[in-house]
Amino acid sequence: MSKTDLGIYVHIPFCVKKCDYCDFPSGVASLDEQAYYIRVLKKEIRSFEPLGNLYRVKTLYFGGGTPSILDPVQLQRIVDQLKDQYEFAEDAEATIECNPGTLNEEKLSAYREMGFNRLSIGLQSANNEELAILGRIHRYQEFEDNYKLARKLGFDNINVDLMSALPGQTMDLWKNSLEKVAELEPEHISAYSLTIEEGTPFYQKYSTLDGQRMLPTEREDRGMYHFTKEFLEEKGYHRYEISNYAKEGKESRHNMTYWNGGSYVGFGLGAASYLNGKRFSNTKDKHEYWEDAKNAYQNYRLTDAQTEQATMEEFMFLGLRMMKGISPQEFEEKFHQDFGTIYGRAVEKLKMQGLLEEEGGRIRLTERGIDVSNQVLVEFLL
């Protein structure tokens, strides 16, 4: 029996300091706690041993928090555990997220040796004042130094994260960040516009009326977004997802798995999985996680597969995040149901409103559709 493709996500919830806009399960932890977490994480991975017979790993992604905060030895233990249990495809993509303030030559070489072939560096802004506003621990120069170091050590697939619509940010400041990064020619750029999440220091500061005045207006925000697309296309990047740009063939295969409805398993605090038609997530409470980890596989087995309706909805609202859009034909092959009966009316209405367009048998968001995509995607909930 041939094995199914699998993506593995590993969550490392530690940071030197939590950023003021961040609402992910992450934070500062003592070295003891970090060591303990690694042990629990290994237990969780071990509980999923039976998967090894069914799946082959196509992508591996270490995210956080800050995976690069770990001592490479600890990282090695997890990677070894995974390699013990799973067959990795020859061309497997293995990404590690890094904070520019935590990198050095020793770590970068260790990553190469462990088999990481892709770096995702959280730069966020090329402007030091903006970095301070965000509560980042690093300066631009640290990023550039480490980026060049990574190149020297042979990393040929690097992503850089940037954030637009920051407090006080002007179009010129944003252009400057983009230009500086584009000059370095990374293979991939993620350009997110800032979302103010509840429960963060940013929410307290910027959700008030006075606070909102410090943020770019919706018009400015969209201006930055549209500029990003044009600017990066000129530089040889194509936008393949709402916030993601890549050189040809350098799309993040791991992230594409999420949007294409592929199988993935997530290990660690708050990590999400989609396996065998079942969606489940680990707890975001670390104490509960200590308890759950041993029986994680059991918990997964007890989860019900999601309904076909939910899978159809996801096909649409995840698929439409990608610029290539969705194909009604693929929908019908997957679900054996008539696309028009289920979504025909919604699609027609949204096309009339200029939010969707159809070309070459695929349906995708228009530029305006991207700007208000939540209002488009909600129409595909049945």
Contact residue for other proteins among 101, 270, 319, 328 (CB under 8 A): 270
Contact residue for other proteins among 14, 37, 111, 317 (CB under 8 A): 317
When the beta carbons of 85 and 373 are compared against other proteins, the nearer one is 373
Contact residue for other proteins among 128, 329, 337, 375 (CB under 8 A): 375
* C-alpha to C-alpha distance for 303 and 281, rounded to whole angstroms: 10
Q: How far is the CB of 221 from other proteins (least distance, A)?
A: 6
* String of contacts with other proteins for each residue 75-104, x by CB under 8 A: ------------------------------
The answer to the question of residue 212 lying near other proteins (CB under 8 A) is no
Q: How far is the CB of 199 from other proteins (least distance, A)?
A: 13
Is the Cβ–Cβ distance between 173 and 216 less than 8 Å? no
Residue 105 C-beta-side C-alpha neighbours within 13 Å: 3
Contact residue for other proteins among 176, 303, 353, 366 (CB under 8 A): 353
* C-alpha to C-alpha distance for 69 and 261, rounded to whole angstroms: 31
Any alpha helices (H) in 185-305, and if so which ranges?
201-206, 209-214, 218-234, 253-259, 286-292, 296-302
Is the Cβ–Cβ distance between 5 and 262 less than 8 Å? yes
* Residue at token pair 């409470």: 285
Kindly determine how many residues on this chain lie close enough to bind other proteins according to the rule CB under 8 A: 44
The answer to the question of residue 9 lying near other proteins (CB under 8 A) is yes
Tell me the window of 34-42, 119-127, 130-138, 368-376 that interacts with other proteins (CB under 8 A).
368-376
Q: In degrees to the nearest 10, what's the CA dihedral of 75, 67, 87, 278?
A: 130
The answer to the question of residue 237 lying near other proteins (CB under 8 A) is no
Beta bridge pairs of residue 94: 60
Question: 251 φ, ψ to 5°?
Answer: -60, 155
Which residues of this protein are in contact with other proteins, per CB under 8 A? 7, 9, 11, 24, 63, 192-195, 218-219, 221-222, 242-243, 257-259, 264, 266, 270-274, 279, 281, 310, 313-314, 317-318, 321, 353, 355, 370-375, 377-378, 381
